[in-house]
């Protein structure tokens, strides 16, 4: 194999030597005209040509040897692969012949007949280099002279005004000083316009929000709170303002809002990502551990700072807590959220949603229903759902193993059905249920009504203004679980009444599962909130002054005007070429600033206001469209003028004689 690899290297070396003069000669024209793009393009083409040549040699070198060396006996392919012993013997014979009959000059002659020199590519490279050379050397003096003259004239004009920006220190953005140009600055940046010596002090700077600034002897200042454009000497320049965004909080672990831990869990993972556009000043993890049930729930609060990272803009933190570190025991719940604050002048504080880690507790057989509904006092005679299942399974087993009489089966099945019905009514009261079809003979069922008690005429013939189910204090999800439990209990009770205890077992188990699910709705965690009164002004305290005191009388509601009167008059006036109302530009600026929140839309509308103020009649429809768009859905609701048209006026208008 080493001998065959050596043959391939010799053929490949000869092919490269054949192509090397072309690669070198083609780069000389680009080096001569000092064109870096052209040289890079030629190197890229040479790399492509080298790859094509290598593939050609790899596929065809055995055929080249077979066609040029008769001693190879058309068996050059055996040099590359010989599978059988006979083929390997022939391969050894060919290698001996090859060393004796193929020399270096002969191999180069073989490659010369197979690989072209490629001089056409060289001619193409020379032609392209010549074209680039002549196009760059074309005389441009007549064109360059006016451009230089214009630049020389415009430079003093633009150099008479200097624009300085001073971003807030917390952003870390450097202040700049430049000639008038478009700017992109953070919010609350102070922009200063200063005139140099030789400028006219009476010149003003018009801002698109309606302000007019006069640099004069002192510099004019403006604090960037919104994106605007400003005009000076007929030229417009845009100032794009980037508002300070509040921090972004992402909880990476757990992935669900409510995470159920397994009963054998020993750890719980938490992961947090906090990002701000400038700097995260503070990030804290707040945890609340809830322990107990019913009215004996105790909450323990804990706060932990989230450590910083090399990048001040973000904090990435994750930890696998052991349950001992969290202080969690079976039956506990841990609520946690993240609060972050940035370094803005007025800091933004953001709080993430509350996540829950729940560690289930082993359920005691006799306390499962009382834990699910802590508000209900459990009677001593009331049996649990688990006990009902045990009694039903025992009845089914006794029916199989022993010959029970029909009366005994009926009595035990009816007794279990009565227990199931009592338990169903117990949970049914949380959905407003007060009676059922089957009772235990307590005298509060439908049979008592049939025997002479007064019927419920109000529920039979009256109109209920509220549903009994809606009068409970449970949320909709808890009600759904209650309904599922009651339906399963009802199915089990019907099967037991029909003396088919085996059929009653599946719905009884469904009822037990629903009761277990109700236990998860036992504990509700809410953040503590309190009323924070406004601060007392000590300077006005005990003075008896009533100026500025707000009235406690509530104002009557009035019909909301969608479009102010001055904007309506302006929209009507923009429909024609007549004069516009007084102070129309102020009304238009206020309307656009209040209703258009997108920067690009607001800048376009302010541009239309300035164009109309400059006397552009063709720009009036554009401004009218922007004002209508600011009202919503591109329409302005205008109040029609009430007019009375009598038959006389109609006849006079139509030209008829009375």
Q: What is the tally of structural domains in the chain?
A: 5
Is the pLDDT assigned to residue 527 strictly greater than 60?
no
206-251: per-residue pLDDT in tens? 898 888 888 877 788 999 989 998 998 888 999 999 999 999 999 9
Q: Say whether both 355 and 391 belong to one domain.
A: no
Which stretches within 192-351 are classed as H helix? 323-326
Mean of pLDDT values over 528-550? 66
Q: Any idea which residue has 């279990």 for tokens?
A: 416
Of the ranges 8-12, 210-214, 400-404, which is most confident?
210-214
Residues 6+ apart with CB under 8 A from 334: 268, 287, 288, 289, 290, 326, 328, 356, 357, 358, 359
pLDDT of residue 398: 84
Q: Please, what's the largest Cα pairwise distance for the chain? A: 132
pLDDT of residue 64: 66
Residues 6+ apart with CB under 8 A from 490: 424
pLDDT of residue 382: 54
Q: What confidence category does residue 140 fall into, taking pLDDT thresholds of 50, 70 and 90?
A: very low
296-334: per-residue pLDDT in tens? 778 899 999 999 889 999 999 999 999 999 999 998 999
Is the pLDDT assigned to residue 518 strictly greater than 70?
yes
Q: Tell me which of 207, 242, 277 is where a domain ends.
A: 242
Q: Say whether both 584 and 496 belong to one domain.
A: no
> d(Cα 627, Cα 611) in Å, to the nearest integer?
14
Tell whether 632 is covered by a domain. yes
Query: In this structure, what token pair is assigned to residue 247?
Result: 């921090």
Q: Say whether both 54 and 86 belong to one domain.
A: yes
Q: Say whether both 260 and 234 belong to one domain.
A: no
Q: Say whether both 76 and 193 belong to one domain.
A: no
Tell which phi-psi region holds residue 548, choosing left (phi > 0), alpha (psi between -120 and 50) or beta: left
Residues 6+ apart with CB under 8 A from 637: 562, 563, 631
Mean of pLDDT values over 413-427? 90
Q: Tell me which of 185, 216, 242 is where a domain ends.
A: 242
pLDDT of residue 450: 43
Of the ranges 469-478, 614-623, 628-637, which is most confident?
614-623
Q: What confidence category does residue 272 fall into, taking pLDDT thresholds of 50, 70 and 90?
A: very high
pLDDT of residue 99: 59
Helix (H, G, I), strand (E, B) or coil at 556: coil
Residues 6+ apart with CB under 8 A from 419: 382, 383, 387, 388, 391
pLDDT of residue 582: 85
Tell whether 366 is covered by a domain. no
Tell whether 236 is covered by a domain. yes
Average of per-residue pLDDT values in the chain: 76
**What is the bridge-based pairing of β-strands 183-186 and 235-242?**
parallel
Q: Say whether both 95 and 201 belong to one domain.
A: no
Q: Say whether both 16 and 128 belong to one domain.
A: yes
pLDDT of residue 446: 42
pLDDT of residue 374: 43
Domain span at 580: 554-641
pLDDT of residue 472: 53
> d(Cα 596, Cα 588) in Å, to the nearest integer?
12
- Give me the phi and psi of 364, to 5 degrees please: -75, 135
Q: Say whether both 6 and 94 belong to one domain.
A: yes
Q: What confidence category does residue 526 fall into, taking pLDDT thresholds of 50, 70 and 90?
A: low
- Give me the phi and psi of 400, to 5 degrees please: -85, -40
Q: What confidence category does residue 429 fall into, taking pLDDT thresholds of 50, 70 and 90?
A: confident
Q: Please spell the DSSP secondary structure of 102-168, one letter per residue.
A: --HHHHHHHHHHHS---HHHHHHHHHHHHHHHHHHTS--HHHHHHHHHHHHHHHHHHHTEEEEEE--
Is the pLDDT assigned to residue 444 strictly greater than 50?
no
pLDDT of residue 547: 64
Of the ranges 124-138, 468-482, 502-516, which is most confident?
502-516
Tell whether 103 is covered by a domain. yes
CA dihedral for 569, 573, 578, 582, sign (positive or negative): positive
> d(Cα 81, Cα 83) in Å, to the nearest integer?
6
Tell whether 500 is covered by a domain. yes
Is the pLDDT assigned to residue 633 strictly greater than 60?
no
Q: Say whether both 195 and 176 belong to one domain.
A: yes
Q: Say whether both 257 and 334 belong to one domain.
A: yes
Is the pLDDT assigned to residue 106 strictly greater than 50?
yes
Tell whether 544 is covered by a domain. no
Output the domain CATH number for residue 325. Answer: 2.60.40
Q: Tell me which of 536, 565, 590 is where a domain ends.
A: 536
Range with the poorest average pLDDT among 280-284, 464-468, 629-633: 464-468
Q: Say whether both 501 and 584 belong to one domain.
A: no
Tell whether 451 is covered by a domain. no
Q: Please report which helix (H) or strand (E) contains residue 272, including its range.
A: strand 267-275
Q: What confidence category does residue 486 fall into, taking pLDDT thresholds of 50, 70 and 90?
A: very high
Cα radius of gyration (the chain):
46
Q: Say whether both 498 and 560 belong to one domain.
A: no
Tell whether 289 is covered by a domain. yes
**What is the bridge-based pairing of β-strands 258-260 and 205-207?**
unpaired
pLDDT of residue 250: 95
The DSSP call for residue 453 is P
Q: Please spell the DSSP secondary structure of 636-655, one letter per residue.
A: --PPPPP----HHHHHHHHT
46-65: per-residue pLDDT in tens? 888 888 877 777 666 666 66
pLDDT of residue 71: 58
């Amino acid at each position: 194999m080493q001998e065959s690899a050596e043959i391939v290297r010799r053929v490949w070396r000869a092919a490269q030597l054949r192509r090397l003069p072309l690669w070198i000669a083609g780069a000389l024209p680009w080096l001569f005209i000092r064109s870096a793009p052209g040289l890079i393009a030629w190197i890229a083409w040479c790399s492509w040509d080298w790859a094509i040549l290598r593939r050609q040699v790899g596929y065809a070198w055995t055929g080249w040897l077979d066609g040029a060396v008769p001693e190879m006996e058309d068996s050059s392919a055996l040099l590359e692969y010989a599978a059988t012993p006979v083929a390997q013997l022939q391969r050894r014979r060919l290698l001996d012949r090859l060393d004796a009959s193929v020399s270096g000059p002969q191999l180069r002659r073989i490659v010369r007949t197979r690989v072209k020199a490629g001089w056409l590519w060289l001619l193409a490279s020379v032609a392209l280099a010549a074209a680039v050379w002549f196009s760059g050397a074309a005389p441009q003096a007549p064109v360059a002279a006016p451009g230089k003259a214009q630049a020389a004239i415009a430079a003093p004009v633009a150099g008479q005004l200097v624009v300085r920006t001073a971003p807030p220190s917390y952003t870390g953005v450097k202040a700049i000083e430049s000639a008038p140009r478009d700017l992109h600055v953070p919010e609350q940046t102070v922009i200063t316009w200063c005139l140099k010596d030789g400028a006219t002090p009476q010149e003003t700077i018009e801002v698109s929000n309606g302000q007019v600034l006069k640099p004069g002897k002192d510099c004019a200042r403006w604090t960037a709170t919104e994106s605007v454009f400003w005009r000076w000497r007929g030229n417009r320049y845009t100032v794009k303002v980037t508002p300070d965004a509040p921090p972004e909080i992402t909880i990476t672990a757990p992935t669900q809002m409510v995470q159920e831990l397994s009963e054998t869990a020993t750890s719980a993972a938490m992961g947090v990502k906090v990002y701000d556009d400038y700097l995260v000043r503070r990030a804290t993890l707040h945890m609340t551990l809830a322990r107990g049930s019913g009215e004996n729930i105790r909450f323990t609060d804990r706060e932990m700072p989230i450590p910083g990272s090399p990048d001040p803009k973000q904090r990435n933190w994750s930890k696998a807590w052991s349950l001992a570190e969290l202080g969690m025991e079976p039956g506990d719940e841990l609520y946690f959220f993240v609060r972050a604050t940035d370094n803005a002048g007025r800091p933004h504080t953001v709080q993430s949603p509350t996540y829950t880690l729940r560690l289930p507790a082993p359920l005691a057989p006799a306390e499962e229903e009382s834990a699910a509904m802590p508000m209900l006092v459990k009677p001593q005679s009331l049996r649990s759902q688990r006990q009902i299942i045990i009694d039903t399974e025992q009845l089914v087993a006794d029916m199989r193993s022993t010959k029970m009489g029909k009366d005994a089966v009926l009595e035990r099945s009816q007794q279990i059905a009565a227990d199931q019905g009592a338990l169903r009514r117990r949970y049914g009261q949380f959905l407003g249920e007060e009676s059922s079809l089957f009772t235990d003979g307590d005298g509060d069922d439908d049979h008592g009504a049939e025997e002479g008690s007064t019927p419920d005429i109000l529920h039979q013939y009256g109109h209920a203004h509220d549903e009994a189910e809606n009068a409970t204090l449970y949320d909709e999800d808890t009600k759904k679980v209650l309904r599922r439990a009651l339906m399963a209990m009802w199915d089990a009770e019907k099967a037991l009444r029909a003396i088919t205890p085996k059929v009653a077992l599946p719905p009884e188990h469904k009822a037990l599962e629903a009761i277990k699910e109700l236990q998860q709705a036992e504990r509700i965690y809410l953040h503590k909130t309190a009323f924070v009164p406004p601060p007392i002004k000590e300077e006005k305290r005990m003075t008896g002054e009533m100026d500025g005191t707000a009235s406690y009388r509530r104002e009557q509601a009035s019909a909301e005007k969608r479009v102010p009167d001055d904007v309506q008059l302006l929209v009507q006036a923009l429909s024609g070429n007549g004069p516009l109302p007084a102070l129309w530009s102020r009304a238009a600026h206020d309307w656009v600033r209040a209703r258009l929140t997108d920067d690009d839309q607001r800048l376009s509308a302010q541009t239309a206001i300035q164009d109309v103020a400059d006397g552009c009649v063709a720009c009036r429809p554009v401004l009218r469209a922007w004002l209508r768009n600011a009202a919503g859905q591109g329409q302005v609701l205008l109040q029609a003028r009430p007019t009375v048209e009598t038959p006389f006026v109609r006849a006079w208008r139509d030209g008829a004689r009375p």
